[in-house]
Chains A and B, each alone.
Chain A
Amino acid sequence: MSAVEPRLLKKLSDQVMNNTIDRDNLSYAFKAQNGLNRERVQQLWSMKKEPEWMLDLRLKSLEHFERMPMPEWGADLSELDAQNLCYYARPTDKVHTSWDKVPEAIKQRFERLGIPQAERRYLAGVGAQFESELIYKNLHKKWVDQGVIFSDISNAMHEYPELVKKYFGTVIRASDNKFSALNGAVWSGGSFVYVPHGVHIDMPLQAYFRINDEQVGQFERTLIIAEPGSFVHYVEGCSAPKYQSNSLHSAVVEVVALPGSHVRYTTIQNWSNSVYNLVTKRAIAYKNARVEWIDGNFGSKVTMKYPSVVLKESGASGHVMSIAVAGDTQWIDSGAKMIHCASNTSSSIVSKSISQSGGRSSYRGLVKILPGVQNVSASVVCDALLMDQDSRSDTYPTIDVKASENAVVHEASVSKISDAQKFYIQTRAISEQAASAMIVNGFIDPFVQHLPLEYAVEINRLIEMEMEGSVG
């Protein structure tokens, strides 16, 4: 029995995201000293020229962060040294709206990723963040004219203060967990998306995040507000070069899906193996609103991420489609949470994971139905593929139901690529490696179906290329 090439699927998105060992050479407009304390937070606040209420919020968050212990469950965070990170680095002095004006080194990085070209052809708007700040943001005039806002929170706080103040921190409080507290203290960058009543943005909004320098932490904060009856598809991708020392990506994403709105949030995460990726993502879905989290986890040393939807009013629905590919030295602990606060709500979670070359992938999830809630339909499907003897797969779901007249179903399975399936494909003259690639592509197909076309094609092609190099 042959072994499949190590790092097989990890490399796939290395190419999608054009991850290379090299760091982009550029000088920074500003870079803070390492370490985290009240002074640094205040310095950050004053550099960004934010209102008083934001300083309060940042400082209170810092207190929570310092007070709360590290979580005792989940992936191993023992090597994370929070004090030895730079919490703010700004490569340029302003946000550009034209690629020509962006510094050459940064522009090249994004061109290699195909971002400017994609923007011309497939996207409604693009935002690009390098280290702690946005360097580029552009929204097609068509959407600007309809009142759509695609910016970052810092900017939005100056131009639309009431809007930001109304929703910021209402979905995820600083005290929610240690890392949302950290984000509350030092957040910078991220996206602010506002979609007015009834507007359907029919092309995706793309945001791209890159950690470039060593030991820089990235703490973007994203807030999406979808007014009643609106639709938006937001796609984010991220990458970082590989270093000896670790860095941290601790983001917070809040989505407010007002009645009748539809928000789809896609993430293709491919941080290198030196990044701790600890993210809190939550949506509140109001009456008849629909929220979808499409979550692709390919990179990072450790990921802990559980996109959730609070189904607050009747008719709301929440959906998570997540895949995790954990390779050598990686531990991806991911999943989803659905909280049913109202009757007549529904949710579905589909989680597919692949563990190979000693990687570890865990599913952690929660489906909760509060007392008195009825007529909920919830389903969870977790399938895991273990590619070899060195890897590991875990599943830790919880179903917590305090009411009746509901239906919650959960199915999970763990296995390897079936010999019988491989044989069947081989009898059609297809090599063993190509057969494995075909099966793996089929396994992640439900996820790939939800991706914008160019990512989907790229991922399939890269899995095939990977399998070609394997030993027979």
Chain B
Amino acid sequence: MSAYSTNIYGVTPVEVTRVAQSDVKLSGNPVQTLYIPADSSVTVLVDSLSVRHVTVIVEKRSKCNIELMVPSGGSTTLHCKTVCGGQDSHIQVRCVGLLRDKQFFNLELEQCHVGSNSSSDMDVRIALQDNSSANVKGRIIVEKTGHQSTASFKNYLLTLGSKVGVVSQPELEIENNDVQCKHSAAVTSLDKEKLFFMSSRGILLDKATKILVDAFLTGGRCD
């Protein structure tokens, strides 16, 4: 573990873990900073019940896949900042899950492109039932040096009950014009026609709901 005290791409690390390969699980310490050096490929799993702030910096020609676990209870806040620092770096962030009871999940993502030719993809899919609520904010920032970068943010929230509440804020701050950035957000409910179709095949409502919710979480849209 090497410690970096200097400012990397605008991030001043407190204690940095340098990871060059394979899988890492982040939990325990509420503030975690990860530095992925050049030419590496790393998968990161973040336990949102314990971690509050995670920062991941990816150097040139490296890849990082980050999975943020949706908490299983309580009221949680998670800030995840990812930086494509070097040229040709790639970051993928995913957060997929279900919130229930009185859960509240406040998720703030920030994807920053400093290195040119970098690409990122943030995908948040959360289904909410009972009295749960979520605030999801996802900001894509492209600095002047980030030309030829491609960034996208998808945020889909599925409301499964009349008492849920969501606030979704997909944001963009773009300072270089040779880029392709987009985001897409939707707040929807289950498609009644699809539910009817399944029940006409004898599938009980609970099971049909579960099937559609699973489909939603794995990438389909069931609105």
Contact = CB atoms under 8 A, between A and B. Distances in A.
Query: Do A and B share a direct contact in the complex (Cβ within 8 angstroms)?
Result: yes
Given A386-B174, A396-B171, A402-B165, A413 B182 contact: yes
A401 B165 contact: yes
B179 interface: yes
Contact of A404 (B159, B167, B170): B159
A384 interface: yes
B169 A398 contact: yes
Chain A: interface size category: 20 to 34
B175 A392 contact: yes
Given A397-B169, A402-B165, A415-B179, A410 B186 contact: yes
Given A386-B177, A388-B177, A405-B189, A412 B172 contact: yes
Contact of A407 (B182, B184, B186): B186
B31 interface: no
B162 A412 contact: no
A414 B164 CA distance: 32
A416 interface: yes
Given A396-B169, A399-B166, A416 B186 contact: no
B14 interface: no
A351 B38 CA distance: 39
Contacts of A394: 171-174
B144 interface: yes
Interface in B36-52: none
Nearest to A367: B187
Nearest to B152: A413
Contacts of B178: 389, 416
Contact of B185 (A387, A399, A403): A399
Given A399-B167, A413-B181, A406 B189 contact: yes
A391 to B, nearest CB: 7
Nearest to B166: A401
A363 to B, nearest CB: 9
A60 B186 CA distance: 41
A67 to B, nearest CB: 29
A414 B159 contact: no
A62 to B, nearest CB: 35
**B interface majority secondary structure:** strand
Contacts of B168: 398-401, 410
A392 B174 contact: yes
Interface string A400-430: 1111111111111111100000000000000
A414 B174 contact: yes
**A interface majority secondary structure:** strand
A372 interface: yes
A398 B167 contact: yes
A388 B166 CA distance: 36
Contacts of B157: 401
Nearest to A373: B162
Contact of B176 (A372, A389, A408): A389
B171 A409 contact: no
A393 B142 CA distance: 10
A395 interface: yes
B177 A408 contact: no
**Which of the listed residues A372, A374, A404, A405 has the most CB atoms from chain B within 10 Å of its own CB?**
A404
A387 B184 contact: no
Given A399-B168, A406-B187, A372 B162 contact: yes
A384 B142 CA distance: 14
B79 interface: no
Contacts of B98: none
Contact of A393 (B147, B169, B172): B172
Interface string A347-372: 00000000000000000000000011
Nearest to A418: B180
Given A393-B174, A411-B184, A404 B169 contact: no
Given A397-B171, A404-B160, A411 B165 contact: no
A408 B186 contact: yes
A410 B162 contact: no
A402 to B, nearest CB: 5
A415 B187 contact: no
Interface string A222-246: 0000000000000000000000000
Contacts of A396: 169, 171
B74 interface: no
Contacts of A415: 177, 179-181
**Which of the listed residues A371, A374, A414 has the most CB atoms from chain B within 10 Å of its own CB?**
A414
Interface of B: 144, 147, 157, 159-162, 164-189, 223
